[in-house]
Structure 1
Amino acid sequence: MTVVFLIAGLVAFLAAIRLMRAAAVAQDVVTTAQDALAVMAAPDLSEDAKETAVRRASIRLAGRFLVIAGIGIAALAAAAAVVWAGAATGLYTLDEALRVGAGWPFILLSSAGAVAAWIALDRRARVPRGDGAGAERAAEVPYGPLDRALHDLAFATTGQQRQLAALETRLYRRRIDPARAERPVFVTSLPRAGTTILLHMLARCPELVSASYRHMPFTLAPLLWGGFSSAFRRPPEVSERAHGDGIDVGVDSPEAFEEMVWLAFWPDHYRRDHIRPWPDNARDAEFEAFFRTHLAKVVATEPAGRRYLSKNNANIARLGLLEAMHPDACIVVPLRDPAAQVASLVRQHRRFLALHARDPFARRYMEGLGHFEFGAALRPIAFDGSAPDPAGADDADFWLRYWISAYDHVLSRAGGRVILVDHDALCRDPVPGLEALATALELDAPGALTDQAGTLRPPPPAPTLPAAQPALMRQARELHAELRRHALVRETAPRSA
């Protein structure tokens, strides 16, 4: 009977905690701390506003901790009352109950049972109801409160990330080989040009290594954090990314995390409503040493890797600088039909506007990574020196002008290390295109790339964009034709417009 009443006491303890919503209070603590970190990282708030917000958060946290302490005392009292009741009826003595309850068999089995019961109850409570909209919203940003707090902490402490990276360099100095920073491959273009699918295909080549979700959120320390996080990561699961474009990602999927390094060293380029491009001569010895070491670290995360690979859309604003920093690099710039790309840009911008309105963390997540391409996080790159107004981004003409400005910049800045790839031509006839790309990249195992030809599908006909200005559309098509003439991968015969 002693064990029965001890188990009953444990049930009473768990019931008290759940009935008094201890988990909700704890989540409120995490959310409050998370919001405070976000305020501290906000570039558009004054120091006085930040101090006021943090003071309010501190007061709320103190109150929440008192509530949690009260819940804990009440739950312990409920458990103690059950155990005392059994002893009061003479079924056992309190000394016997203490002896059994303090024994390792009961502690071990009761702890495992309590954890299993708690998880089961949580899963039952999280089963989606109705039309599944709740499950869809949860999948858009698949992070719980603790994950979100960790990400906010990482995004708000760029200086500490650099210090962590310096510690990592000392700890892993024997694994960091400078030769692994040689001949890097940078994939860049405006979003929706085929950069992600190209990244995924190239990442399957054994010599090329990209940053992955395993390195989040402390991406400046991929060896240290990647090794630490692997100890408690769940088994790899894949799901469609927030873009809703059919591309599945998981913890080992390559992703665009390189911009966090540029954010850490060049904060002045990231203005409130635009990003300033980098001059070709914007050399910085400290940054370049850190960047080259970072490239070698990412490659060192995979024993078979020998070359760095990244996808970073913002690199389109620093082509000349990248070539100056890495004269042995390959900079791959996919090109897409401007009407198709603009239509996709408009869709994605509207999609992320809605997502950011529903979930502010989604915006903080994108901004923390340096992804300023869409939604409320949009900060266009001022390619020609003038910053387009993000307020007009719901219009196709905004994106057409942006497209023209971006690829005029590419045409004028692309040097000998830039490889232009006609994405539409590659999708229509992938085998020769992938063979040419593998040769240009000097891949040790070109078959690892060309064997993926079946991944690509012919693109659908480009939309007409009836709301766009005809003059802008003609200018974009003329520029696209000129870019295609310089492309490594292109169609041998011109298509009718």
Structure 2
Amino acid sequence: MMVALAVSLLAVAGFGIGLWRSHVATVARSAMGTAMAGITAMMDSELDDDAKEVAVRRAGFALIRAAFGLCWRLALSLALAALPIFTADQVGLVPAEAVLTLMMRLDYLFIVSVAVLAGAHLLRRLRGPARHDPEALPEINRYSTADRFFHMLAFSSPAVMKGASKLEDRLMPDAVQAPDGPPIFITSLARGGTTALLNALHEVPGIATHTYRDMPFVTAPALWNRLAGGRGRDVGRHERAHGDGLEIDLDSPEAFEEVLWKTLWPGKYRSEGIALWDTSDRAPEAEAFISRQMRKVIHARRAAPGAARYCSKNNANIARIPYLLEAFPGCRIVVPLRRPETHAASLLRQHLNFLKLQKDDEFIRRYMRDIGHFEFGQIHKPLLFPGFDPEAFDPVTPDHWMDYWLHAFRHVERYKDRCLFVLQDDMRAEPQETLEALCAQLDVDPAGVNFSTHFRPTPDRAPQDLYTPALFAEADALYRGLERHAAPPPGLQGIGGNPITVRA
């Protein structure tokens, strides 16, 4: 019995060594990636029929090669497993039949499987997370094959998003909840502090936001939540793709509102950049769609009846300020304001980060494009602020992002009397006082929420000599002007029905 056990373990070890040394897992992952690439091409609305045919044909040939590669690797591993069994039988140690009978027993299979899994887990812990370990990668890479399929299905066409919304309306007509006040729009250039501010306000009772649970069918949050398993669906907390230390899970708020704008106004998204919205772009049917979506989000978050406010973080809304003010009367537009030298440096850093991420993984590029996050990387589409020339500077240089900041906030300055500015310096230095003052201006009760956990306490600093002196001086002067305009009014007076700019 002991000899048969020893030979069987040698056979298991041989099989494992064969799989390991022949890199069968790498080949299998490559095959799955190739299959997903073919499916992605078929569902990519930006590709014409000829391009789809070429991509699918290329994926098909690659899968055939991968199949042959898997076959010979598995055959080699089986041969290595058979070698000790055959050798022991030939020299008379133990009959091959006795070894195979032992290996087919259920208790043997269970014990050996548990031991192998435990050993693999221990080895993985000792070695640390690998580059392709899903636990070590950002949220996009943690998508399973099924997750990616549903994502590509949802974003294969604007008609799918609109159809999902209509299906939810038909199957769950009561999956809406009326708001208890005008919507709150958090907007600025990316890296301005919008995510931290959204996370802080998300903690306030009665504030409803999009969360990762809404993905990928963001236009049907209640229906998709039910189909996907509701509260039973969960993932562990992990760092998001930006590499900025912010951790997320399915209940974390996120900027998915842009999906609606991209679906309803596709003509605004051009090859050179994204055009701005103004009051001439009013579209009653589209506005009704967005308003109903706001009520769906409030219902999906299960806020208390009669005490719910829709809140979104959408960096692209900085290009829609006049439109939002007219389309959603009384709305609050909150603009985090960050020093230009630190803001531009952070923008450049993230652009370089996503250039690499999107080069390494095609799905990351597809994911960011689908949710309308064109801020960085290979898919970078700048907002076309008045006077901004996207080709004036190379996007991998600091001056490009400083110039972008300057034109963006020149545009915002035109509406400074109709926005609520929040200084990044204040959110870092005095988060509790700053957010409580902002809540007062938003007419929401902070309910004792501890806001300090959402903001870094360290000063926000970056070198100023990264930029052309004249360009930085102009941006700094603009920041100083907005900073002075954001000084708090005496007594933090309420804003009544009209938004005004305050330093929160």
How many residues are matched? 475
Which residue number in structure 2 is paired with residue 439 of structure 1? 440
- Relative to structure 1, is the Cα distance of residues 127 and 355 closer, same or farther in structure 2, using a 3 angstrom cutoff? farther
Pairing 1:288-437 to 2, within 5 Å after superposition: 288-304=287-303, 306-384=308-386, 386-389=388-391, 392-413=394-415, 416=418, 418-437=419-438
Distance 1:90 1:428 in 2: 74
Which residue number in structure 2 is paired with residue 28 of structure 1? 30
Aligned 8 A contact 1:44 1:272 in 2: no
Distance 1:232 1:113 in 2: 31
Structure 1 position 326, deviation (Å): 1.6
User: Cα deviations across residues 15-64 of structure 1 (Å, max 9, x unaligned)?
Assistant: 69889876555433421122224434667654322221112223444665
Secondary structure, counterpart of 2:414 in structure 1: helix
Distance 1:143 1:13 in 2: 36
Aligned 8 A contact 2:131 2:137 in 1: no
RMSD value over aligned CA atoms? 4.4
User: Cα deviations across residues 112-144 of structure 1 (Å, max 9, x unaligned)?
Assistant: 985885586477468646xx6737996343555
Structure 1 position 367, deviation (Å): 1.9
Distance 1:139 1:490 in 2: 47
Aligned 8 A contact 2:260 2:290 in 1: yes
Secondary structure, counterpart of 2:216 in structure 1: coil
Distance 1:300 1:318 in 2: 26
Which residue number in structure 1 is paired with residue 148 of structure 2? 151
Aligned 8 A contact 1:187 1:195 in 2: yes
Which residue number in structure 2 is paired with residue 463 of structure 1? 462
Distance 1:151 1:269 in 2: 27
Aligned 8 A contact 1:420 1:488 in 2: no
- Relative to structure 1, is the Cα distance of residues 11 and 291 closer, same or farther in structure 2, using a 3 angstrom cutoff? farther
Aligned 8 A contact 1:178 1:292 in 2: no
Structure 1 position 412, deviation (Å): 1.9
Distance 1:218 1:113 in 2: 42
Structure 1 position 438, deviation (Å): 0.9
Aligned 8 A contact 2:15 2:80 in 1: no
Aligned 8 A contact 1:208 1:308 in 2: yes
Amino acid in structure 2 at the alignment position of 1:191: A
Distance 1:369 1:34 in 2: 19
Aligned 8 A contact 1:181 1:295 in 2: no
Structure 1 position 354, deviation (Å): 3.0
Distance 2:487 2:36 in 1: 47
Pairing 1:59-208 to 2, within 5 Å after superposition: 59-61=61-63, 114=113, 117=116, 121=120, 124=123, 128=127, 134=131, 139-142=136-139, 147=144, 150-151=147-148, 154-155=151-152, 156-159=155-158, 160-174=160-174, 176-180=175-179, 182-208=181-207
Instruction: Select the residue among 49, 52, 63 that pairs with 1:50.
Output: 52
Distance 2:289 2:404 in 1: 32
Deviates more, 1:297-306 or 1:453-462: 453-462
- Relative to structure 1, is the Cα distance of residues 270 and 36 closer, same or farther in structure 2, using a 3 angstrom cutoff? farther
Amino acid in structure 2 at the alignment position of 1:134: R
Amino acid in structure 1 at the alignment position of 2:163: Q
The TM-score, its normalising length taken from structure 2, stands at 0.77
User: Cα deviations across residues 132-177 of structure 1 (Å, max 9, x unaligned)?
Assistant: 6737996343555862663365244133233223222222222x23
User: Cα deviations across residues 382-438 of structure 1 (Å, max 9, x unaligned)?
Assistant: 01165413971122221121111111111224564x212222234334444323211
Aligned 8 A contact 1:151 1:217 in 2: no
Deviates more, 1:453-462 or 1:43-52: 453-462
Distance 1:269 1:459 in 2: 39
Deviates more, 1:251-260 or 1:181-190: 181-190
- Relative to structure 1, is the Cα distance of residues 67 and 223 closer, same or farther in structure 2, using a 3 angstrom cutoff? farther
Aligned 8 A contact 1:27 1:145 in 2: no
Amino acid in structure 1 at the alignment position of 2:361: D
Distance 2:490 2:54 in 1: 60
The TM-score, its normalising length taken from structure 1, stands at 0.78
Pairing 1:235-246 to 2, within 5 Å after superposition: 235-239=235-239, 241-246=240-245
- Relative to structure 1, is the Cα distance of residues 18 and 435 closer, same or farther in structure 2, using a 3 angstrom cutoff? closer
Structure 1 position 76, deviation (Å): 11
User: Cα deviations across residues 281-338 of structure 1 (Å, max 9, x unaligned)?
Assistant: 3122332232222222222222235222211111111112222222132111111111
Deviates more, 1:200-209 or 1:38-47: 38-47
Runs of 5+ unmatched residues, structure 2: 90-94, 492-504
Secondary structure, counterpart of 2:274 in structure 1: coil
Distance 2:331 2:150 in 1: 33
Secondary structure, counterpart of 2:434 in structure 1: helix
Aligned 8 A contact 1:273 1:390 in 2: no
Secondary structure, counterpart of 1:134 in structure 2: coil
Aligned 8 A contact 2:139 2:241 in 1: no
Identity, % of aligned positions = 34
